[in-house]
Amino acid sequence: MLFIVLVLVLAALGLLVAALITANSLWAWISIGLSVVAGLLLLFDLLRRRKKRAAEAPAEEAAEDPAEEDEPAEGEEKKPEDVEQTVLMPAAGELGDAEDTPEPQQSGDPGEEKSDPADVAVVSELEIEVVVVDEYPRYHVTSCEWLETRDTIPLGIGEARQLGFTPCALCTPDAEIAGKHREKA
């Protein structure tokens, strides 16, 4: 979207220069029209982004505070979709080492995989494609459950590491990619 706005602004600037050189007011009016269109596109993009953020915020709040869900009226039964599901996670001590427990870096982030140095050595030499999500510090395999409907950006695993991305604790891309590579070899 910003690329289109940039092209429109540059075209408007060119037409303004043409209007000044030729003293033809038609070019100036076309320049003004292009500037207005660019401004409307920016406004549309801003409103679209605000609406998207507003839609994501209630979903995150609902995930964080399930106690506020509507309870069925007295005498009504809970529908199957209303039944809460509890997911049991082992405590840090049960894993053997507290360092193995992934800790989220920001809201909704699955945490960083504690990669085996041998796996890191294998994947750093490969040109396998992984995906990243804008504004999140992890890279993932394409089958990662965390990605769901998020917009992803494909990158080579080496490039992702150079840009500072770290592996996802949920899909463990380093272990998975290294394992697949060892199976092929």
pLDDT per residue over 98-147, tens digit each?
444 444 445 577 788 888 888 888 887 888 899 998 888 898 998 888 88
CB atoms within 10 A of CB 140: 27
Distances in whole angstroms, Cα of residue 185 to Cα of each of 121, 122, 178: 15, 12, 11
CA distance 87 to 39: 48
Q: In the prediction, which pLDDT does 130 show?
A: 92
Above 90 in pLDDT, residue 161? Answer: no
Q: Residues 59-64: contacts with CB within 8 Å, 24+ apart?
A: 60/107, 60/108
Nearest alpha carbon to residue 1 among 56, 54, 48, 55: 48
Q: In the prediction, which pLDDT does 67 show?
A: 52
Q: Could you read off the pLDDT of 29-83 as tens digits, one per residue?
A: 999 999 999 899 888 888 888 888 887 777 666 666 555 555 555 656 655 555 5
Q: In the prediction, which pLDDT does 29 show?
A: 93
The answer, as to whether pTM is greater than 0.75, is no
Q: Phi and psi of 130, rounded to 5°?
A: -120, 175
Helix (H, G, I), strand (E, B) or coil at 132: strand
